[in-house]
Amino acid sequence: MRAMRQAITSGAQHVRPVLDDALFARYVEIGLAVREAFCTPALRETLIARLKPHRRLIAGSVPAGIQQHGMLPERAATRSLAEISDSDLAQWLVDDGRLIYGEFTQQELDNYFEAIAPWLPPQGHFIDLGSGLGKVVLNAALALPGMRCTGIELLRYRHDMAQVRLAEMLVAGADEDPAAAASVAARVRLQQQDMFAADVGDATLVYVYSTCFAPLMDRLGEKLARELQPGALLTTVTFPIMHPAFELLKQFAPPSVAWTTVYLYRRRSVLEPVPPAAPNFLYEQDGAAWEYALRAAFSAYDEARRA
Ligand SMILES: C[S@@+](CC[C@H](N)C(=O)[O-])C[C@H]1O[C@@H](n2cnc3c(N)ncnc32)[C@H](O)[C@@H]1O
């Protein structure tokens, strides 16, 4: 199945389009104000003061959306940072973080499916929440031939790219292994949807590449605890699920499966109704180190402009 797998690699470097449709109008409006404050020396102290209390919502020092690979349009801000409320800014940081794209390498995915094999039932339903360009769903369709495989992705362009990749994989498979290609075609479903609105009630295994979802982990845990059947499996990446409805089966420390920690949980059967989990702060950044790194990013930006 070399050609089929080949069709679904190398999504991590894809060219990001500009996010400018109505659904993201508010994200863009706030993002432009944040970017303006980053680029304008007179506004930087305010930017630091506004972001610092929310730094645990930022993956790294500079919000991803205002960096070069971000998806903001190239136009001037229509509002200033001063006009953005603190709660809107915090929500923007959550939204910005969760739009970051990343994939495991093919080797890491192979490691993953091999590592979880002892716990997997032969049949069922695999769901990738936040499925991006479809790499995990399509690999799952090859690695788990007894399972239906569904990907749920928020961004239209990523969903569209996943569909193109599925089509390319099926074309490659038609030559290479027609039976495998037909089986993949019958079992894979790609949906453009917010994962929090998706019904995962019949999932046997839910996978979440949650490295940039730290602020969402509690909300995810509660949704999954409410919807998953006892015995269902759950994988998160980098951050654990702290909800008491989930029993940790295995924690794969790096580099045994991947560059980061991979968790495997099972939905317990005894907790009904599920109590809400206490909020967890999974990702803390030291304030001084964060500020130092942000100031270094200001300098790097100024230097690049001068060059
Ligand atoms: C780190 S990428 C992982 C992509 C894919 N699962 C993989 O591992 O190759 C996370 C994906 O989650 C998507 N995402 C973020 N929030 C989402 C939401 N509320 N509903 C659905 N997808 C979401 C992002 O757009 C992004 O494509």
pLDDT for 164-223, tens place per residue? 999 999 999 999 999 999 999 999 999 999 999 999 999 999 999 999 999 999 999 999
Asked whether the predicted pLDDT for residue 274 surpasses 60, the reply is no
Any atom of ligand 1 within 6 Å of the Cβ of 178? no
SS3 233: strand
Helices (H), 12-134: 25-39, 44-51, 86-98, 106-116
Rounded to the nearest angstrom, the distance between the alpha carbon of 96 and the centre of ligand 1 is 12
The mean predicted confidence, pLDDT, of the chain is 94
Rounded to the nearest angstrom, the distance between the alpha carbon of 98 and the centre of ligand 1 is 7
Ligand 1 site-directed mutation target among 14, 100, 101, most atoms within 8 Å of CB: 101
Mean pLDDT of 80-101: 96
The pLDDT assigned to 41 comes to: 97
Q: Classify residue 172 by its DSSP letter.
A: H
Any atom of ligand 1 within 6 Å of the Cβ of 132? yes
Domain boundaries, the chain: 22-98+284-306, 103-267
Nearest to 146 by CA among 166, 117, 168: 117
Instruction: Kindly report the pTM of this predicted structure.
Output: 0.93
First to last CA, the chain: 48
CATH number of 103-267: 3.40.50.150
